[in-house]
Amino acid sequence: MNSVNKEVRRPGNLRRAVVLMATVLGACGPVEEGASGAGGAPAGVAEQEALAGLTLGIVAGNIRTEAVDQSLSTNADEIYCEFNQLGAQWVRIDADQLDTGTPVYEAIVQKAHAKNIKVNIVVPARYCGSDSDQAAINAFTFAYVSHLNALANSLFKGTAKADAYEIGNEPNVTEAACPDGVSRYRVSPNAFAHLLRAVWNWKTTNGRTELIISGGMRNTYLTEPYWTPFFNSAGFKLADGQTKHRPFDYFGIHPYNPNNLDVQCINTGSSACFGTWKANLTSGLKSVATRVNTATGKSDSKLFATEFGLQLAEPIVGSTTPTCGPNNCVINLQQMAAGMDAAANALVSSGVTPFGLWYKYRDDSQELFGLRGVWNGTKYLAKTQVWNKYRTLAGGSTNTDPDVCWSLGAQYFPLVFDTKDARRTTVTYEWFLDHYKAECAPGERLLGLSRATTGGWARTALCYTDSVSAPRYEHPVQGVPPTGCQSRSVLGGDNRGTTASGDWDSGFAKAECGLNEYVAGVAQSPDNNFAGILCCPAAGTTRASCTPRVFASQDNRETTASGNWDAAGTKGECGTASFVAGVSRDANGDPHALLCCAE
């Protein structure tokens, strides 16, 4: 919402109201955790299961730079760790913000990817011309696509490549933001349809793999005057003027639908106020998908809810009781959690909305939709009941402490082992006799391996730990015979505990741990032939999503947050939401690739 080239306004100005609505009945503001409804689930009450058929994410909001406390530029590790804990699989950020430079944008995306979080980049759009002036529309779309192309090829590339581009944001909002001061749609209907067609041509012509999401429309109210000229636009037809086409992968929608909230019930403090709203959201989403299908000549169009949410209210001056108007406002945390549950289930029930991004991660001085409240001088206070509702809906961690990632204790340990042992523990005894070994300590796991630039032999192993993942990697003591960790030699060829990952480095000998095991150590001979790995048990370390990273001739790193931990070698490195499941070597006895698997 407060994201792209817009006037900053109080939530009382109908931030989530119908686009043309003119009045508001209440104002919203911060509510500290510990206020009415601040508690968690009662003891002994079973937690609901994660929703099936819905992938959830979070809108980051304006938290990119150091001007904001605990920003993505300074605390991305903690924020994305928390997103993992919550079960969020997408983050939405805005491009073209003047306060955010290239290195910050790159790091924000890279660190998200290192935590297996996909990134939706909103590229702002504003059109100030006439909706019937095709020459002006063509100039507008040409300039936009040129800018998008520059972003994709110069900024969001490589490990910082976007997973999706959202084309504008809420084009059907009316505002006076053009130089002439005239109130108009952010992007008029016909211009927006042609913009989507131009972007889709860019994607298909250039073989781009990023998803294209049409900029999220605010609300599903199809009777509003924007929708008909939009869907009737020639932008939904190919050059022949007859053949319909779909110029996006997903149709973006912001299903706030404030007109259908039971404000009277909400102002009583009850949590049982969202049944009618949920039904309206469900039917509204279905209707939008039907209109998209009709306009595009398809039958399988899907929606992407790039924003949905509710915000808390503050007491009116002179009153001890907060009140809400038609602005997606609730008066306590129980209601906010119940409304979140209703909205998420509506996305599922629609059958056409497989993705939803909660708006947003934390409150700011203007809007109070966050899972966390405003800055209190030390931290952003979690709205614990709402935070945990999101966690259960998204299928996040069983850890219910919102602040565990903020005492993350993330640490990297480079271990040079080409001339001697470099072991952070000896509890596994002499697991590869007469060989140089690098070994991580209990609570740590191998994330990286380098090979000497001159010579090619294994040089440095990189161990990693943080307070969230450490308990999984317990590193049991090896017995005689082994009862916990075990070594796997690659000296005689493949030595694999599982083949579920396929032939991930064809033509090279592979040492690979079994299912529910991770690599805790690596070994090489005194004449620097890579010899094998140490596999230790860890529950849940499967082969659900694995990627080989070949580093024989150049760095191949999922993240660079660990710094340049071996300036004299080429490095392979997995992200901090992954573990190393295997290592391959070439015919010369030098390491060739890592197998990185998501936790």
Three-class secondary structure assignment of 21-72: CCCCCCCCCCCCCCCCCCCCCCCCCCCCCCCCCCEEEEECCCCCCCCCCCCH
Q: Give the burial class of 553: count Cβ atoms within 10 A of its Cβ; 0-12 exposed, 13-18 middle, 19 or more buried.
A: exposed
Peptide bond into 360 cis (omega under 30): yes
Residue type, 239: A
Confidence of residue 503 (pLDDT cuts 50, 70, 90): very high
503 and 471 in contact (C-beta within 8 Å)? no
- Per-residue pLDDT, averaged over 509-515, amounts to 96
CA distance readout (Å), 16 to 214, 414, 456: 19, 50, 59
d(CA 121, CA 115): 17
CATH number belonging to the domain at 11-18+26-40+51-402, selected among 3.30.930.10, 3.30.429.10, 3.40.1230.10, 3.20.20.80: 3.20.20.80
- Per-residue pLDDT, averaged over 86-113, amounts to 94
Walk across the sheet containing 118-123 and list its strands.
211-214, 164-167, 118-123, 90-94, 55-59, 355-358, 303-308, 251-254, 217-218
Q: Which segment of 16-20, 300-304, 380-384 scores lowest on mean pLDDT?
A: 16-20
Please determine, for residue 586, whether its predicted confidence score (pLDDT) is greater than 70.
Answer: yes
371: Cβ contacts below 8 Å, ≥ 6 apart: 58, 86, 358, 360, 361, 362, 382, 383, 386, 387, 390
Of 298, 303, 373, 293, the residue nearest 333 (C-alpha): 373
551 and 571 in contact (C-beta within 8 Å)? yes
d(CA 579, CA 573): 10
Name the segment(s) of the chain with CATH classification 3.20.20.80: 11-18+26-40+51-402
Please determine, for residue 121, whether its predicted confidence score (pLDDT) is greater than 50.
Answer: yes
d(CA 542, CA 500): 9
d(CA 408, CA 99): 27
d(CA 533, CA 472): 19
d(CA 487, CA 434): 13
164 and 208 in contact (C-beta within 8 Å)? no
Please determine, for residue 365, whether its predicted confidence score (pLDDT) is greater than 70.
Answer: yes
Mean pLDDT for the chain overall? 89
Structure tokens at 239: 């050059």
d(CA 577, CA 71): 20
Structure tokens at 244: 């319909």
Query: Given this model, what pLDDT does residue 162 score?
Result: 98
The DSSP element (H or E) to which 83 belongs, if any, is helix 72-86
Structure tokens at 447: 């994330």
d(CA 572, CA 575): 10
Query: Given this model, what pLDDT does residue 33 score?
Result: 39
- Which tens digit of pLDDT belongs to each residue from 156-175? 999 999 999 999 999 999 99
- Do the bridges between strand 184-185 and strand 164-167 make them parallel or antiparallel, or are there none, so unpaired? unpaired
Question: DSSP 3-state assignment of 214?
Answer: strand
CA 100 and chain centroid, separation: 19
| Positions of E strands within 187-285 | 211-214, 217-218, 251-254
Residue with tokens 């009945």: 25
Look at phi and psi of residue 589 and say left if phi exceeds 0, alpha if psi is from -120 to 50, else beta. Answer: left
- Which tens digit of pLDDT belongs to each residue from 534-580? 999 987 677 778 999 999 999 999 888 888 999 999 999 999 889 99
Please determine, for residue 331, whether its predicted confidence score (pLDDT) is greater than 50.
Answer: yes
Q: Which segment of 24-28, 58-62, 157-161, 461-465 scores lowest on mean pLDDT?
A: 24-28
**What residues are paired with 458 via a beta bridge?**
451
Question: DSSP 3-state assignment of 113?
Answer: helix
Three-class secondary structure assignment of 460-473: EEEEEECCCCHHHC
d(CA 583, CA 596): 9
This prediction has a pTM of 0.73
